[in-house]
A and B are shown apart, each in its own frame.
Chain A
Amino acid sequence: GAGVSQSPSNKVTEKGKDVELRCDPISGHTALYWYRQSLGQGLEFLIYFQGNSAPDKSGLPSDRFSAERTGGSVSTLTIQRTQQEDSAVYLCASSLILPEAFFGQGTRLTVV
């Protein structure tokens, strides 16, 4: 079947604007994760959804970041009032067997 799909693949936005990044996980996968990867840095955990449980938001860097997962499937990561330090590749992953996660291609966000 299809893998994890993320859109858009690239996003350039002006500082101060809000952006929404979308993730379509693999059908049937109950767990969904968001990570971000900055140049020269390791992957940084942002948020984790598992079934109907309350999400683990402990990795969100500020209150400008939020995420939701509708109907246990599609997820949207929203960044409000973007800053230049938000520039990174945002990766979504899903899994059925924790934590053998399958990652999407990522959304490259550039804040200018």
Chain B
Amino acid sequence: EDQVTQSPEALRLQEGESSSLNCSYTVSGLRGLFWYRQDPGKGPEFLFTLYSAGEEKEKERLKATLTKKESFLHITAPKPEDSATYLCAVSNYGGSQGNLIFGKGTKLSVKP
């Protein structure tokens, strides 16, 4: 069964304290892996798509990496405005392109 597991469930950081969020996945055939950010009361906001092992994407303080079994979202020198829940999702070749399998997310809190 295809599944996505994110860890930790919650992470508290001090401003400027870099860290990484983990997304482990098992799928029959990975079409792509996606990272989203979700603020309370809002829909998820698209961040990155990764398609193959070794690929990396960066946006401001965020960098996403992909291996054959997991993805990491690295946060460098975070600021309080980076506080949010970060969601990981995968699409597999066994399903339609619209059928994304989401993890439960990592809730990040960055304290000033």
Q: Is the CB of B97 within 8 A of A50?
A: yes
Instruction: List, in ascending order, chain B residues with CB within 8 A of A102's CB.
Output: 46
Question: Hey, what's the 0/1 contact readout for A31-63 against B, CB within 8 Å counting as 1?
Answer: 101010000111111001110000010110000
Instruction: List, in ascending order, chain B residues with CB within 8 A of A99's CB.
Output: 32, 34, 49, 91, 97-98, 100
With A43-B87, A56-B96 given, is the CB distance from A105 to B104 under 8 Å? no
Q: Is the CB of A91 within 8 A of B87?
A: no
Q: Is the CB of A33 within 8 A of B46?
A: no
Instruction: List, in ascending order, chain A residues with CB within 8 A of B102's CB.
Output: 35, 42-44
CB < 8 Å neighbour of A43 from B41, B89, B91, B98:
B89
Q: Is the CB of B42 within 8 A of A48?
A: no
**Interface residues, chain B, with chain A CB atoms under 8 Å away:** 4, 32, 34, 36, 41-46, 49, 87, 89, 91, 95-105
